[in-house]
Amino acid sequence: MGVTAARHARDIAHNTAKVLGIELLCGAQGLSLSRDLRAGKGVELAYARIREDIPPLTQDRYLAPDLLCAEQLVTSGALLAAVETAVPLET
């Protein structure tokens, strides 16, 4: 039973990273559509880090590579590290 629970937990963590990556891409695309307003410091840093690897959508394209890259930004901690440079995590 413990092994099955561990597998389920691993799958949940993996799926959560995918969903967070999708949400981040959607948010970044929304910011790309109108740069008249600026977001907070942390969001702007996250946006800049995402855009280093993933260009904005300007036309239709295959999104699997973008989704994988966004997921890797979440799982590697690169996105968190970029944001923490200006907005330290409080514990």
Q: What is the pLDDT of residue 39?
A: 85
Q: What is the pLDDT of residue 1?
A: 66
pLDDT per residue as tens digits for the range 44-64: 999 999 999 999 999 999 999
Q: How many domains does the chain have?
A: 1
Does 29 reside within a domain?
Answer: yes
Q: What is the pLDDT of residue 19?
A: 97
Q: What is the pLDDT of residue 36?
A: 82
Q: What is the pLDDT of residue 88?
A: 73
pTM: 0.84
> Which domain does 50 fall in, by range?
2-84
Q: What is the pLDDT of residue 91?
A: 63
Does 66 reside within a domain?
Answer: yes
Give the residue ranges of the chain where pLDDT is below 70: 1, 91
**Residues 75, 24 contacting (CB under 8 angstroms):** no
Does 91 reside within a domain?
Answer: no
Does 90 reside within a domain?
Answer: no
Contacting residues for 22 by C-beta, under 8 A, at least 6 apart: 67, 70
